């Protein structure tokens, strides 16, 4: 039975935290829906819901997501989530709009497969955003340049992508080709969790179906404009015969990266970081300063100007987000302090003291 648990992605990290709750059963979230969750334990699949008190104590963005490990109790075959175990990592983005709310996409992943369609929408700037997301969470990253059967110049895209990610595995794939199974299974050993990310219609669900050997995820054929059509509307976890675990996701139209600082930008844009060390001024922003090594690299063709602009944009977004998060945290702290002070005043009011004495 313990081997089955480890095949679900369980390891010593989660075991150490779960030891505090010997009366509860470990489970992994496999699907989230409007009325609760689907989970898997050593004993099988169950429906589950959050304990009411736990639900009230959390912000909505703190609720469990697909990939989370939780501790559950059972009431007439119905599982109740009592505890959410600490995550090893998470894949998050900022919700669209002017808010500073985090949306956790999935949790506890070992690998990100970024699926990019070569038929339409090849966007180096978007790939850079996903690379930053991977660097932030220290998750292995593999790029799948998909739909090579529909174009003739796949090698050109491969070379361009290697400039963005020289140390990242990049694979040319045809989602319908059964040979893709052997290629991807090299990365998916037993208990390893891989997440498929990418825009709508790039072929994520088709790859998932090919890996599973059956059509578990609905797909639609390419339209007249040669663009894929998005059908996946939920995040779903599937289990491969070799013990690997895969999570399919709806297409992401806009990726607003959620970072805790700007360090991940230094990693995903390491070439700009290294060039900036050669600038005359330590605080050079690579705009109009003299002897700027970054701008020199653009002039001699060593660096793409679009890459520098994307670095600036991501850095600006991150600094703005960090400022908003700090303001939101201060606001919440102020509200909590106000509620606590009101409670203390009520507790020490003459009426409360009188009622307390009367009970005695």
According to the annotation, is 150 in a ligand binding site?
Answer: no
CB 148 within 8 A of CB 158: no
- Report the DSSP pairing between strands 102-107 and 90-94: antiparallel
Give the CA distances from residue 243 to residues 14, 22, 101, 119, 180, in Å, rounded to whole numbers and listed in that order.
18, 26, 35, 32, 17
* Paired strand residues for 80: 49, 73
CATH 3.40.50.300 in the chain: give the residue spans: 90-217+235-252
According to the annotation, is 206 in a ligand binding site?
Answer: yes
First to last CA, the chain: 54
Classify the C-alpha dihedral 308-310-313-314 as positive or negative: negative
pLDDT at 346 over 80: no
pLDDT at 230 over 60: no
Q: Please, what is the average pLDDT of the chain?
A: 86
What average pLDDT score do residues 184-195 get? 94
Could you tell me the pLDDT band of residue 330, with boundaries at 50, 70 and 90?
A: low
Would you state the pLDDT for residue 224? 45
Q: How far is 92 from 217, CA to CA, in rounded Å?
A: 23
According to the annotation, is 233 in a ligand binding site?
Answer: no
**10 Å Cβ neighbour count for 16?**
11
Q: 330 by DSSP, 3-state: which?
A: helix
According to the annotation, is 353 in a ligand binding site?
Answer: no
pLDDT at 2 over 90: no
Higher pLDDT, 324 or 32: 32
Q: Yes or no: is domain 90-217+235-252 CATH 3.30.70.380? A: no
According to the annotation, is 262 in a ligand binding site?
Answer: no
Domain 2-84, CATH among 2.50.20.10, 1.10.3470.10, 3.40.50.20, 2.40.50.140:
2.40.50.140
CATH 2.40.50.140 in the chain: give the residue spans: 2-84
- CB-based contacts of 17: which residues, under 8 Å, 6+ apart? 85, 86
According to the annotation, is 222 in a ligand binding site?
Answer: no
Condensed to tens digits (0 to 9), the pLDDT of residues 70-92 reads 999 998 878 999 999 999 999 99
Indicate the DSSP class of residue 48.
E
Higher pLDDT, 260 or 202: 202
CATH 1.10.40.50 in the chain: give the residue spans: 263-327
Would you state the pLDDT for residue 324? 81
Place domain 263-327 in its CATH homologous superfamily. Answer: Probable gtpase engc; domain 3 (1.10.40.50)
Would you state the pLDDT for residue 220? 46
According to the annotation, is 147 in a ligand binding site?
Answer: yes
Condensed to tens digits (0 to 9), the pLDDT of residues 125-162 reads 999 999 998 888 889 999 999 999 999 899 999 999 99
CA-nearest of 319, 272, 270 to 296 is 272
Could you tell me the pLDDT band of residue 275, with boundaries at 50, 70 and 90?
A: very high
- DSSP assignment of 267-319, as one string? HHTHHHHHHHTTSSSTT--SSS-TT-HHHHHHHTTSS-HHHHHHHHHHHHHHH
pLDDT at 226 over 90: no
According to the annotation, is 198 in a ligand binding site?
Answer: yes
Would you state the pLDDT for residue 339? 52
Could you tell me the pLDDT band of residue 34, with boundaries at 50, 70 and 90?
A: confident
Could you tell me the pLDDT band of residue 266, with boundaries at 50, 70 and 90?
A: confident
Structure tokens, 112: 């990100």
According to the annotation, is 286 in a ligand binding site?
Answer: yes
pLDDT at 249 over 70: yes
What average pLDDT score do residues 235-259 get? 89
What average pLDDT score do residues 204-214 get? 90
Higher pLDDT, 110 or 266: 110
According to the annotation, is 284 in a ligand binding site?
Answer: yes
Q: How far is 8 from 16, CA to CA, in rounded Å?
A: 16
According to the annotation, is 52 in a ligand binding site?
Answer: no
What average pLDDT score do residues 110-136 get? 91
CB 261 within 8 A of CB 322: yes
According to the annotation, is 279 in a ligand binding site?
Answer: yes
According to the annotation, is 121 in a ligand binding site?
Answer: no
CB 139 within 8 A of CB 89: yes
């Amino acid at each position: 039975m313990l081997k089955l648990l480890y095949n679900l992605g369980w390891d010593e990290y989660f075991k150490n935290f779960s030891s505090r709750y010997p009366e509860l059963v470990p489970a992994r979230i496999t699907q989230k829906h409007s009325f609760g969750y689907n989970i898997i334990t050593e004993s099988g699949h169950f429906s589950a819901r959050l304990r009411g008190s736990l639900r009230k104590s959390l912000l909505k963005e703190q609720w469990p997501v697909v990939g989370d490990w939780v501790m559950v109790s059972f009431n007439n075959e119905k599982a109740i989530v009592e505890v959410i175990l600490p995550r090893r990592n998470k894949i998050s983005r900022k919700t669209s709009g002017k808010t500073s709310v985090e949306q956790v996409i999935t949790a506890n992943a070992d690998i990100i497969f970024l699926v990019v369609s070569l038929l339409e929408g090849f966007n180096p700037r978007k790939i850079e955003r996903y690379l930053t997301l991977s660097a932030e969470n220290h998750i292995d990253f593999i790029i799948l340049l998909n739909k090579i059967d529909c174009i003739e110049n796949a090698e050109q895209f491969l070379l361009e992508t290697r400039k963005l990610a020289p140390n990242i595995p990049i694979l040319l794939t045809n989602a319908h080709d059964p040979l893709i199974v052997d290629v991807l299974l090299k990365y998916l050993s037993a208990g390893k969790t891989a997440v498929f990310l990418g825009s709508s219609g790039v072929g994520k669900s088709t790859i998932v179906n090919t890996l599973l050997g059956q059509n578990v995820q609905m797909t639609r054929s390419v339209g007249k404009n040669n663009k894929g059509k998005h059908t996946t509307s939920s995040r779903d976890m599937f289990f491969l015969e070799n013990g690997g675990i895969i999570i399919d996701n709806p297409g992401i139209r806009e990726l607003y990266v959620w970072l805790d600082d700007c360090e991940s930008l230094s990693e995903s844009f390491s070439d700009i970081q290294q060039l900036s060390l050669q600038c005359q001024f330590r605080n050079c922003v690579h705009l109009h300063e003299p002897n700027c090594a970054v701008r020199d690299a653009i002039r001699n063709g060593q660096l793409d100007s679009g890459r520098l602009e994307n670095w600036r944009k991501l850095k600006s977004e991150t600094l703005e987000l960090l400022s908003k998060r700090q303001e939101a945290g201060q606001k919440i702290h102020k509200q909590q302090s106000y509620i606590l002070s009101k409670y203390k005043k009520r507790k020490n009011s003459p009426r409360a003291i009188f009622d307390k004495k009367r009970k005695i």
